[in-house]
């Protein structure tokens, strides 16, 4: 009897132990993410010196920058990865006006995942229509937001100015010696930074060492974002589904909040939208309910860039935080303008329904849409700008 009781106690404690180990792994992965972002910033500084502006001259055309952000995110399938890399690039000297269109492009590129997930329903006509509309409402909103906010940003710079003011409040004067010595994050990341620097110190020049740091940093970010998503999905997906079922159908505010919370919990807007699209396809949720939920995923995915910005210390810390805030403000302002204003609110669902009608009529439209928007158009614009 005692043996059975002991075995039962051991079995009940095992899931708890596994959960603690999973959270410990998440903490370690976040540390790696911060170290990787810092490595990209250090790498760009070493590789470019004071020539960062000249290096990125090809992206001074904002539409080219937009397409680079879109295509990079569509290829990598993670806006968190791309925005973290952009934070590191800004810390290494990439000018904020060039980085803003890159961030906007990343927002569009991330919505490809939900569109691909909807293809799982392609054999069932009405089900596919519902799933494809639920997936492309995310695309349609992000494209509409860029269509409105990119011209406004180019003319009046509201995102750049507002993020600059807020970053100034959030980040202290890290240029001062006292603040540097007190910077906890810098101290915490020093062992990792020294190890990464040592790993490239054998290279023949500072430029090559910088390039190697960039490559290592990007590789680490790709690994960490994927790994952290897997770990958190194991720990949180059951709870995420519970939150979704409890809140999505309770109105737009609840829908936006649940989309944001679930995305923060699983650290992936792609995972969040992959959860909701099949439920929309089978009729559990309507397009009207899915729409605000996808807007919440846009907010939730900003947490990674904000976290990445905390890895940067010194005079570039404020700029790194600024571009992370641009990502958040872009999504908040987009929701405020498009969803809150009644005459714009219906635009993304109308576009999504139109695309779903075309897709249901002929499956070739699906290939043309995915290939054209996420790959063909960006490639055309990027190539055209080099001629």
pLDDT at 213 over 90: no
Measure the CA–CA gap between 67 and 109, rounded to whole angstroms.
9
Measure the CA–CA gap between 202 and 222, rounded to whole angstroms.
25
The pair of structure tokens assigned to 347 is 């635009």
What integer is the mean pLDDT of 205-226? 80
Verdict on whether the full-model pTM lies above 0.85: no
Segment 93-146, tens digit of pLDDT: 888 999 999 999 999 988 887 888 888 888 887 889 999 999 999 999 999 999
What integer is the mean pLDDT of 84-101? 89
Q: 378 in helix, strand or coil?
A: helix
Share of the chain above pLDDT 70, in %: 84
pLDDT at 163 over 70: yes
Does residue 116 contact residue 77 with C-beta atoms inside 8 Å? no
Higher pLDDT, 115 or 164: 164
Task: Using pLDDT thresholds of 50, 70 and 90, give the confidence band for residue 182.
Answer: very low
pLDDT at 279 over 90: no
Does residue 371 contact residue 357 with C-beta atoms inside 8 Å? no
**What is the pLDDT, as a whole number, of residue 176?**
42
**32-33-34-38 Cα dihedral, nearest 10 degrees:** 100
Measure the CA–CA gap between 285 and 248, rounded to whole angstroms.
8
What integer is the mean pLDDT of 220-233? 72
Segment 365-382, tens digit of pLDDT: 999 999 999 888 888 887
What integer is the mean pLDDT of 147-159? 96
Higher pLDDT, 98 or 53: 98
Does residue 324 contact residue 302 with C-beta atoms inside 8 Å? yes
Q: So where are the chain's domains?
A: 19-386
Kindly report the average pLDDT of the chain as a whole number. 82
Task: Using pLDDT thresholds of 50, 70 and 90, give the confidence band for residue 9.
Answer: very low
Higher pLDDT, 204 or 176: 204
**What is the pLDDT, as a whole number, of residue 323?**
95
pLDDT at 185 over 80: no
**What is the pLDDT, as a whole number, of residue 96?**
93
Segment 239-264, tens digit of pLDDT: 666 777 777 778 889 989 988 988 88
pLDDT at 6 over 70: no
> 31-41 as b/e, with b when 16 or more CB fall inside 10 Å?
bbbbbbbbbbb
Does residue 69 contact residue 82 with C-beta atoms inside 8 Å? yes
Share of the chain above pLDDT 90, in %: 31
Does residue 296 contact residue 259 with C-beta atoms inside 8 Å? yes
Measure the CA–CA gap between 110 and 269, rounded to whole angstroms.
8
**What is the pLDDT, as a whole number, of residue 200?**
82
Instruction: Tell me the HSE value of 332 on the side-chain side, using a 13 A CA sphere.
Output: 12
Segment 333-361, tens digit of pLDDT: 999 999 999 999 999 999 999 999 999 89
Measure the CA–CA gap between 93 and 41, rounded to whole angstroms.
8
């Amino acid at each position: 009897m005692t043996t059975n009781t002991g075995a039962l106690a051991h079995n009940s404690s095992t899931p708890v132990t596994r959960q603690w180990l999973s959270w410990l792994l998440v903490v370690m992965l976040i540390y790696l993410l911060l170290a990787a972002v810092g490595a990209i910033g250090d790498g760009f500084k070493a590789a470019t010196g004071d020539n960062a502006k000249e290096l990125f001259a090809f992206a001074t055309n904002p539409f080219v920058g937009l397409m680079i952000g879109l295509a990079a995110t569509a290829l990598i399938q993670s806006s968190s990865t791309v925005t973290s890399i952009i934070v590191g690039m800004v810390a290494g000297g990439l000018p904020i006006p060039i980085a803003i269109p890159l961030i906007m492009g990343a927002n569009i590129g991330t919505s490809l995942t939900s569109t691909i997930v909807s293809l799982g329903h392609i054999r069932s006509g009405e089900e596919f229509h519902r799933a494809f509309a639920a997936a492309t409402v995310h695309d349609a909103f992000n494209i509409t937001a860029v269509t409105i906010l990119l011209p406004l940003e180019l003319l009046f710079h509201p995102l750049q100015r507002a993020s600059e003011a807020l970053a100034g409040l959030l980040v202290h004067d890290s240029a001062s010696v006292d603040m540097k010595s007190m910077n906890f994050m810098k101290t915490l990341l020093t062992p990792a930074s020294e190890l990464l620097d040592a790993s490239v110190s054998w290279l023949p020049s500072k430029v090559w060492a910088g390039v190697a740091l960039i490559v290592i940093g990007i590789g680490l970010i790709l690994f960490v974002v994927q790994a952290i998503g897997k770990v958190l999905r194991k720990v949180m997906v059951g709870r995420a589904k519970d939150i979704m079922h409890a809140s999505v159908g309770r109105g737009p505010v609840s829908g936006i909040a649940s989309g944001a919370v679930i995305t923060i919990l699983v650290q992936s807007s792609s995972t969040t939208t992959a959860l909701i699209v099949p439920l929309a396809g089978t009729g559990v949720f309507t397009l009207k309910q899915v729409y605000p939920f996808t807007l919440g995923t846009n907010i939730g995915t900003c947490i990674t860039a904000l976290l990445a910005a905390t890895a940067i210390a010194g005079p570039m810390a404020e700029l790194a935080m600024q571009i992370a805030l641009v990502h958040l403000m872009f999504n908040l302002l987009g929701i405020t303008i498009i969803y809150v204003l009644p005459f714009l609110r219906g635009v993304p669902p109308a576009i999504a329904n139109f695309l779903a009608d075309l897709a249901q009529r002929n499956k070739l439209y699906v290939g043309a849409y995915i290939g054209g928007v996420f790959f063909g158009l960006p490639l055309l614009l990027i190539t055209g700008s080099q001629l």
